[in-house]
Amino acid sequence: MIHKGIRILALGTVIGLCACGGSAPVRYYTLVPPVGGEVATATGAAIPATPASFQFELLPVGVPAQADQPSLVVRQGGQGVAVLDGERWIAPLGDEVRNALSADLAAQLHSQDVTGLASTGKPVARIKVDLRRFDSVPGSYAMIDAAWSVRMLKGDGVIACTSRIQQNVGTTYESVVQGHQRALAELATQIATAAVPLAAGQSASCPAS
């Protein structure tokens, strides 16, 4: 009887392993652009062709609680949402957004994110971003709504703005993620466009809504 119980237990273990092995694989996504990838910039943006005369410090980025999940969250219909357990971010969404913006800003300004680093003597622009919306609608759009500010740590240069950026996307989740990558790159462009004159002691304006 003992041996029979062991056989039954062993069989149950095998069945459990097979059930797990047969589940759909989890796919992971990142918002961080690939190294050497193209960086979108706004038409007419005053982005320097040479390294900027300042560095920047990007604070932690706030993201909406509704979208701040390990899994992708997509809208369905007017009020419905779906949490996609099989489609996940490789890191917390706030970290993904911050790392993507940091990479985009560094590429556009030809400068360095010095958050947490010792001072190098160059002027530093402190950038704060809070996403108020992070909407994903497969087959339609990826949209971000952000409140952001740039403040020079030396001097009195400061600007606070809002940006609402929407990108058309395809039906796949990869397309939705790519749409958010483009939206964040455009947001980085708007921030960089304001930071350049601000660092030079000039007036800066918010992007047209």
Q: Where are the domains of the chain?
A: 2-199
Burial of 16 (0-12, 13-18, 19+ CB in 10 A): exposed
Is residue 123 within 8 Å of 152, Cβ to Cβ? yes
For 66, phi and psi rounded to 5 degrees? -65, -35
Beta strands 158-168 and 71-76, pairing class: unpaired
Angle of CA points 159, 149, 198, to nearest 5°: 40
CATH superfamily ID and name for 2-199: ABC-type transport auxiliary lipoprotein component (3.40.50.10610)
Where is 136: in which H helix or E strand?
Answer: strand 124-137
Q: Quote the pTM value.
A: 0.84
Single out the residue of 6, 209, 32 nearest to residue 104, CA to CA: 32
Tell me the pLDDT of the chain (209 aa) as tens digits. 444 443 333 323 333 333 445 578 999 999 998 876 554 444 444 456 667 889 999 999 999 999 999 999 999 877 889 999 999 999 999 999 999 999 999 999 999 999 988 777 889 999 999 999 999 999 999 999 999 999 999 878 899 999 999 999 999 999 999 999 999 999 999 999 999 999 999 989 998 86
